[in-house]
Amino acid sequence: VHTIPGRVDGVLHPPLYHVLLRLWREVTGDSISTLRGFSTLLSLGTIALLFVLVRARAGLAVAGWAGLLVAIAWANVQQATEVRGYTLLQFWTVLA
């Protein structure tokens, strides 16, 4: 984990996703399904966080619809099944 930031010279993305994914691999293993599980977990966290934030601002019904729309959005489903950093970006964007 501590060597990842020093090895990303040619990579345009920040190393946070790679560091977190490495820690996830240490805990869950190295199969493709567990690696995809990390993206799925981040996607579910994004849906839950969005629901909580929208419920505080607009009420339960609007929060339910917002969560449902994000959960069934094709782009979200696609990213949740790939081992890429976009789900972490989604999570941090909603958190911001």
Q: How far apart are CA 71 and CA 73, in angstroms?
A: 6
pLDDT tens column, 2-21: 666 666 666 667 788 888 99
pLDDT tens column, 18-52: 889 999 999 999 899 999 999 999 999 999 999 99
Which of 90, 54, 56, 95 is CA-nearest to residue 73? 90
pTM of the model: 0.82
Start-end of H helices in the chain: 16-28, 32-58, 60-72, 74-80, 86-95
Tell me how crowded residue 5 is: count the other CB atoms within 10 A of its CB. 12
